[in-house]
Amino acid sequence: MTELLVGTKKGLFALRGEPGSPFEIAARAFAGEPVEFACRDPRSGRYLACVTSAFYGPKIFVTDDPAGEWEQAQGVELPEGGDTALVRLWTIVPGEEDDLLYAGGDPGVLFESRDGGLTWELNMPFWEQPTRPEWNPGAGGMCLHSIATWPGDSSRLAVGISAVGVWLSDDEGETWRHGNRGLVARYVPEESREETLALCVHNLHRAPAQPERLFMQFHGGVYRSDDAGESWIDIGAGLPSDFGFPMVVDPADPNSAYVIPLVADLDRVTPEGRVRVYETRDAGASWTARGEGLPAREAYLTILRQAFGGSGSGPSMELYFGGTSGDVFGSGDAGATWSAAATRLPPVHSVRVA
C-alpha cells in the first residue's frame, strides 16, 4: 500500500492505493486552505505540512495521523520588528542528523528544526547575506524551494532559490557562497548574464549515490553539476523543451533524472497537448519520453515544481505527479507505464510519497 500526500489549493489529501490502480482519499486536512507542500519524515513517521492561509499567514503543522489533529509548529517566522514578513513555505527536507529538518520559504529563507519539526529557527547567516537587498523574486515569489543535503555529512548543503540561484554551504549553514558557474539566464540581456544574481532555479536535486552530482531544472535549461554545485553543464538537448518545474532522481542511480517539460515560460503547459515524463539514465546525454498511459491528446497540463515525487529505486521505482487540473498520475515501474491515481482534486501544488 502506497500513501501519497497531495498538497492542493484547497487542502491536503492523503491518498492510499496500489501503483497502477486508482487511489482512495484516506484523509483531507486543512479544508479550504492552500497546502503548498506536505511530507512524512521517514525517520519519525511524523507528517509535516506547509499551509499558507490567505488570511492568517504561512504556518507549518505536524501530526502523527493525517486524519487526526495537527499541531502548529513554533518559530516559523522572521525576526520581529523588521520590514519583512514570511510569505510562504515551499519545502521541508529531512537533514542528516536525527530529528534535523530544513524548511525553505519566501522571501528566500531557510529554517532549521532539531526536534523533528516541532520548533524551528531561522538560519541567520543566510538571512543576513549582504547581497539580500539586491535579490529579486521570480513569478512565484522569492522562494527557497530546493534543499539538497549530502548523505552522511550534515555539514554540506545546497539550496536553490527563484530567482537568486544556487547557494552552497560546507559548515552546516554557517557560511554560504554562490554555486552558479555555467548557468545561463537567457531572460536577461547577454551583456548582463555574467554578473546577474537573477538566476531562476526551478528545482534542484542531489544524486544520493554520487553526492557531488546534482541535477537542476532551470528557467530555460536543464543542468547537471559534477562538482557539488560549483559549476553546471547544460543537458537539455533532446528534450522537447528545456522549460519546466518538477524533477525527480532515482536515489540508486546517479545517472538518472526525470523532468516534465512545459512549452515555455510564456506558455506553461505540456507540449503538443501531450503529457510526457522524460527520463535520462546517462546523466543527461540522452532523454527518453515516458508517456504510456498518460493523456496523449488535448491535454494541456501545468505541473508545478513540488508536484512530482517518487519512492524506491530501480525498475520498480514509484513515481507520481499532479497537475493544476487536479489529476494525479502514478507509475509503479519507474515511468514505463502510467495510470490515473486520482482525478478531480483541487489544483495540485505538491505530491510526495509518505
Q: What is the x/- site pattern for another protein, positions 201-230, by CB under 8 A? A: ------------------------------
Phi, then psi, of 29 in degrees rounded to 5: -130, 160
Q: Computed over its alpha carbons, how large is the radius of gyration of the chain?
A: 19
- Specify the stretch interacting with another protein by CB under 8 A; choose among 82-90, 123-131, 141-149, 152-160: 82-90
User: With binding defined as CB under 8 A, does residue 79 bind another protein?
Assistant: yes
User: With binding defined as CB under 8 A, does residue 59 bind another protein?
Assistant: yes
Which position has the grid cell 486536512? 29
Strand order in the sheet with 2-8: 24-29, 11-17, 2-8, 348-353
Cβ 108 to another protein shortest distance, Å:
15
User: With binding defined as CB under 8 A, does residue 86 bind another protein?
Assistant: yes
The burial class, CB within 10 Å (0-12 / 13-18 / 19+), for 201 is: buried
Cα 176 to the chain's mean position, in Å?
21
Find, among 336, 342, 164, 144, the residue nearest to 258 by Cα: 336
The burial class, CB within 10 Å (0-12 / 13-18 / 19+), for 52 is: buried
User: With binding defined as CB under 8 A, does residue 56 bind another protein?
Assistant: yes
What whole-number distance in Å separates Cα of residue 83 and Cα of residue 143? 18
User: With binding defined as CB under 8 A, does residue 42 bind another protein?
Assistant: no
- Specify the stretch interacting with another protein by CB under 8 A; choose among 77-85, 231-239, 258-266, 277-285: 77-85
- Specify the stretch interacting with another protein by CB under 8 A; choose among 84-92, 206-214, 253-261, 274-282: 84-92
What whole-number distance in Å separates Cα of residue 284 and Cα of residue 184? 17
User: With binding defined as CB under 8 A, does residue 298 bind another protein?
Assistant: no
- Specify the stretch interacting with another protein by CB under 8 A; choose among 72-80, 166-174, 238-246, 265-273: 72-80
Question: Which residues lie across from 110 on neighbouring strands?
Answer: 104
Q: Which is nearer to another protein, 142 or 239 (CB)?
A: 142
Q: Which of 82, 133, 152, 189 binds another protein (CB under 8 A)?
A: 82
Cβ 86 to another protein shortest distance, Å:
7
Q: Which of 31, 69, 83, 194 binds another protein (CB under 8 A)?
A: 83
User: With binding defined as CB under 8 A, does residue 85 bind another protein?
Assistant: yes
Q: Which of 1, 31, 54, 266 binds another protein (CB under 8 A)?
A: 54
Helix (H, G, I), strand (E, B) or coil at 190: helix
Q: Which is nearer to another protein, 72 or 343 (CB)?
A: 72
Which position has the grid cell 543537458? 235
> What number of chain residues touch another protein (CB under 8 A)?
17
- Cα dihedral across residues 114, 115, 118, 119: positive or negative: negative
User: With binding defined as CB under 8 A, does residue 57 bind another protein?
Assistant: yes
Q: Which stretch of DSSP H or E encloses residue 6?
A: strand 2-8
Q: Which is nearer to another protein, 78 or 299 (CB)?
A: 78
Cα 86 to the chain's mean position, in Å?
19
Q: How is residue 88 written as a grid cell? A: 510562504
Q: Which of 81, 130, 133, 152 binds another protein (CB under 8 A)?
A: 81
Q: Which is nearer to another protein, 73 or 354 (CB)?
A: 73
**Interacting residue ranges for another protein, rule: CB under 8 A:** 9, 54-57, 59, 72, 77-86
